[in-house]
Amino acid sequence: MRFIGNIIWMLFGGLFLALGWLIAGLIVCITIIGIPFGVQCIKIAGLVLWPFGKEVQVGNFGVGGLLFNIIWLIFFGWELALSHFITGLLFCITIVGIPFGLQHFKLAKLGLIPFGARIS
């Protein structure tokens, strides 16, 4: 079932979302200061491409991760998390869309606090 969900996800927008995250990550990596943020964008792009069957555990980020998470939250995170949350709510209006809405909720959690998050 996960494979079918991932194929449907990728065909109906997941591929474009993942490319967007990948391009954003590469652009942010242009500066030395932006490299950690770009790496997180690329990590998120991998999850956005194939989200079904993967879990996100947030935590264990240390002092440096806390600082980066605060900077991320101020400049990028709240907008990304809000957009994924609203999209997830819209998908959950129908029974067929609930699995896709749950994937957007997972991405919203990762969009808030990407540093120290583990994707398994």
Task: Tell me what pLDDT residue 93 has.
Answer: 95
CA-based nearest residue to 3, from 52, 54, 39, 55: 52
pLDDT tens sequence for the chain (120 residues): 889 999 999 888 888 888 988 998 899 899 998 899 999 889 889 999 999 999 888 877 888 888 998 988 888 888 888 988 998 999 999 999 999 999 999 998 888 888 888 888
- Write down the pLDDT at residue 80: 84
Identify the domain containing residue 94 by its residue range: 2-119
Give one DSSP letter per residue of the chain, joined into a string. Answer: -HHHHHHHHIIIIIHHHHHHHHHHHHHHTTSTTTHHHHHHHHHHHHHHHS-TT--EE----HHHHHHHHHHHIIIIIHHHHHHHHHHHHHHTTSTTTHHHHHHHHHHHHHHH--TT-EE-
Quote the number of domains for the chain: 1
Which residue(s) pair with 57 in the sheet? 118
